[in-house]
Each structure stands twice: as structure tokens, then as C-alpha cells.
Amino acid sequence: MADRYDVVVIGAGPGGYEAAIRAAQLGLATACIDDWTRAGGKPAPGGTCTNVGCIPSKALLQSSENYEEIGHAFGEHGISVSGLAMDVARMLARKEKVVGQNNDGILYLFKKNKVAFFHGKGAFAGKDGDAWKIAVTGPGAAQITATHVIVATGSKPRALPGVAIDNVRVLDNEGALAIPKVPKKLGVVGAGVIGLEMGSVWRRLGAAVTMLEALPSLLPVVDVSIAKEAQKLFTKQGLAIHTGIRINDVKVTSDDVTVTYDDAGKPVTATYDHLIVSIGRVPFTGGLGAESVGLAVDERGFVKVDDDCKTNLPNVWAIGDVVRGPMLAHKAEEEGVSVAERIAGQKPHVDFNTIPWVIYTSPEIAWVGQTEQQVKEAGIDFRAGSFPFTANGRARAIGDTRGLVKMIADRGTDRILGVHMIGPMVSELISEAVTAMEFGASSEDIARICHAHPTLSEAVKEAALAVDGRTLNL
């Protein structure tokens, strides 16, 4: 392999590997370095997302949802099943297979696009004239130089002070995705996106799940109507959600974890088979040699970048979870592609106002743009319209009428400011709202678009009609 590159990307998560592919597509000599390793020593590109994040969590969510559906929803379709059983080892093996397919897919894409891949840890090792020297240590050890460096080193779980993650009893996302048998009692500290998804997996498989959330309400970043509906639905499913709690003590034995916490001022002691700690993630720059070259990071450890992902160092860029903005795979990808294009002399743009958010609970939650709280706080005069899935024919046919779609539009211009959903497959429905907002659409535009019948997407059209007080099916 060559030792001089136009672009070297450090980290092959969704941000890094897509940046590398795009740079190579644009004719730049590109290398990507990543240190994630599979059992057996093979490289595992794809980062947090592929190995212990988006992909394995969705694999387990699907398995557990299938199990719950068969157990609870098939009866009314006239389908009876006896001897229903859950083989957790097989479910986990399937998840690993899905992860492995994605790792291999990225290695294939690197080959196809002529991206040189180095398996190991990449670190800044000074300069060679204007170029950056990068030392790779590990299986693919090498000394390479790069005209441009893209730092895409991602994030790691935030620790609960004084509580060690052993991934046996006290689990981070990695351990939560690999519990070998369904726990009887599972505690989850942090009822954010990851906590809710992991809690849902194990609840569906039969665990009694208690969510312990420090904030005074569930999902404060979500639109208020959607968060209220979510709390109602999740509680009905059996997730015990406690908000406004304060953890005082965590004691771990070889068999269980005992947590002492204050709930509305009252001391509570509870014992769980496992405790998942999902209180957010922090940027990761360990071993990158950032200090040695003076790469500026802020007080929270994020690499400092401008709107174009430029750092304080010449020709050094940073993208994804290691920089400001939402910690989402698709945000990392957009930044990665835009940096590659900028290096190649193009003028790309990432619109942070139209980055969709999804929580893959059942029902799913998805949104784009501003919430009602934010619009009110900004003093914007707005109109909002909602449409429930109870009034949607396809939802009735599917047998899942939970949730609603809500659209918020500027009262004067009718421009869509935000779209918020909770319901079946809203992770897919949100794309229509993203597209509309990206093109500066009004609610009237959506209301006048022909939506196929019967589809769940008709709920989006009806919510748009509701903005003007003229739903047709409610």
C-alpha cells in the first residue's frame, strides 16, 4: 500500500467510512484507519453504529418485536401459536451475523472504491512539510502521510460517576446488546433514546424493566404532545418509568445490582439482575495524539470545528459524534460526505434544521424541525394540526392504531416548521417531512399531494390538512 495520501480518515464509523468512499469517488488518493476488531481478530469497520449501536440494536428490536407480536397480536388475526419460545443465544447469534455482514459490506466498498484500509489505531505523528504524518499501530501498522486528515473517532458511553461498567452486571450499550438470558428484573439508568430502545428489547422478551430518569419528564427534547403519548403508551406496555430521580448508590455483587435512589424525595432501594447505564455519550479522542499537534477541543472534549467541519489546524477536519451537533449516524454521514466534497473543491452544505430523529421503540417516534415548545419559545406565530392513526385505514388493517402525526407551520407563510410522529413505521414516514422541509414546503403543499391509499402516509397528509382545520377523515 502507498504511504502518501491526499486524504486519511481516522475512524471508519458511518461518518468516516462514507467520507473515505466519497473522497475516493472524487479521485483523491484515500486511506481509512480503524481499530475495531471482531472476535478472531478480523477488522470490524462501521464504528459504534455497526458494531454496538444502530445495527445490532435494530436487529434485537426486530427479534423481540416478532416475539411480542406472535405472543400478543397474532391471535386476533386468527393465528394461534403454541409452544412459543425464545432462544436468546440464537437471537444474539443472528444479531452478530447481521453486524458481520455490515462489517464485510464496508470492507467490500473500500475495495470497490479503492480506499486503502489500515486496521489499527491512527495517531498524529507530526508534520512532513505541509503534510500530516500519521502513525498506525496494530495489525496494519504503518507510517503514512496525508495532505488532509479527517478525524472521525466517534464517541463512547458517558460513565455514571463512581459506577464501573463491567458488562456483566452493570452494562453500557455493548453489554445491553449481549445479555445472555432474559433478566427477571432489569434496571435502566437514563430513559433517553438508547435506554428506551434497550429497555424495550428486554421488556418484550419478558423482563420487568424499570427506567430511572434524572430529568423531570420523559423525552423533553421531543414535542410535548408526542412525549405525553409516548409516556402513556410505554407505561401501558409495562415499562415502569420514574422521572426526576437521583441515584445515590449502586452496589454490585456477582448475582445482582442494588440501586438506592431518591424518587420525588423518597428514598428507594431496588435490586436488579442487570443495570443498564445509558446516560448519554461523550466524544472520543483517546490515543489520537490530538494534544501533540495542538488540535483544539472544547471543555466537553468535542473537537472544535466551524460550520464546514474545519478544525483549528490546516487541512485537518472533524466530523460525526466527535464534534458538536446531534450524535446520529446520518448526521455523521452527511458531514463526512460534505468534507470530502469540500476537499475536492466543491461547495456542499449540511442543513442541520432538517436532520431527522428516530426512536425505534414500538410505536416508533420520529421528528424533524422544531417542537411546539421551541416554536413558542422563539415567539413564532404558528398553527399546528394533528391526525391520529386510529383514523387511518391502513393502520387499522395492520392492527396498530397507536399514535399520531403532528405538523407545525408558520401562521403567516404556512412554511412547515416541524413534523412530529409517534406510530407504526414513522421512521419511514418522516422522510416525506424531511424532503418537504428541505424544499421549503408549506403545509398546503403536503395537503395537495396525492398520497396512495391505503397507506400510513395518508396520516401525514391529514395532519397537513389539520393545520388548516380541514381534515377529511376525522
Ligand X SMILES: Cc1cc2nc3c(=O)[nH]c(=O)nc-3n(C[C@H](O)[C@H](O)[C@H](O)COP(=O)(O)OP(=O)(O)OC[C@H]3O[C@@H](n4cnc5c(N)ncnc54)[C@H](O)[C@@H]3O)c2cc1C
C-alpha 214/C-alpha 279 separation (Å) is 9
Q: Which residue from 2, 57, 62, 61 is spatially nearest to 31, judged by alpha carbons?
A: 2
On whether the CB atoms of residues 398 and 424 are closer than 8 A, the answer is: yes
- Asked if residue 16 binds ligand X (CB under 6 A), the reply is yes
Q: How far apart are CA 152 and CA 319, in angstroms?
A: 5
* Residue 59 vs 241, nearer CB to ligand X: 59
Which of 95, 102, 122, 340 is in the footprint of ligand X by CB under 6 A?
A: 122
The binding track of 338-377 with respect to ligand X, each residue x by CB under 6 A or -, is ----------------------x-----------------
For residue 68, give the nearest of 207, 218, 231, 242 by alpha carbon: 207
Closest to 147 measured CA to CA, from 329, 315, 357 = 315
Q: How far is the CB of 301 from ligand X (least distance, A)?
A: 13
Of 49-57, 161-169, 237-245, 402-410, the segment contacting ligand X by CB under 6 A is: 49-57
Q: Hey, which residues between 160 and 189 contact ligand X (CB under 6 A)?
A: 173
Q: Does the active-site annotation cover 148?
A: no
Per CB under 6 A, which region of 14-22, 71-79, 202-210, 268-276 contacts ligand X?
A: 14-22
Asked if 462 interacts with ligand X (CB under 6 A), we say: no
Distance of alpha carbon 178 from the chain centroid: 18
The answer to whether residue 115 forms part of the interface with ligand X (CB under 6 A) is no
* 406 touching ligand X, by CB under 6 A: no
Stretch of 30-38, 72-80, 383-391, 413-421 lying at the interface with ligand X (CB under 6 A): 30-38
288 is a contact residue toward ligand X (CB under 6 A): yes
Q: Looking at 120-128, 159-167, 296-304, 413-421, which segment touches ligand X (CB under 6 A)?
A: 120-128
Cell of 356: 431527522
Asked if 57 is part of the footprint of ligand X (rule: CB under 6 A), the reply reads: yes
The catalytically annotated residue of 148, 274, 451, 453 is 453
Q: How many angstroms separate the CA atoms of 94 and 12, rounded?
A: 23
Total number of residues that touch ligand X (CB under 6 A): 37
Peptide bond into 454 cis (omega under 30): yes
Look-up: residue for cell 422522510?
431
Is 383 among the residues that bind ligand X (CB under 6 A)? no
DSSP 118-165: EESEEEEEEEETTEEEEEEESTT-EEEEEEEEEE---EEEPPPTT---
What cell numbers appear for 181 in the block?
Answer: 438470558
Give residues with Cβ within 8 angstroms of 112, minimum separation 6.
Answer: none
C-alpha cell at 331: 448526521
287 binds ligand X (CB under 6 A): yes
- Please, which of residues 211-250 interact with ligand X by CB under 6 A? none
CA distance 23 to 350: 17
Task: Tell me which of 22, 61, 140, 154 binds ligand X, using CB under 6 A.
Answer: 154
Residue of 43, 320, 369, 418 interacting with ligand X (CB under 6 A): 320
Q: Is 43 in the site for ligand X (CB under 6 A)?
A: no
Q: Does 327 bind ligand X (CB under 6 A)?
A: yes
> Which residues of this chain interact with ligand X, rule CB under 6 A?
10-16, 33-36, 47-49, 53-54, 57, 121-123, 152-155, 173, 194, 284, 287-288, 320-321, 327-330, 332, 360
- Catalytic residues, by residue number, are 453
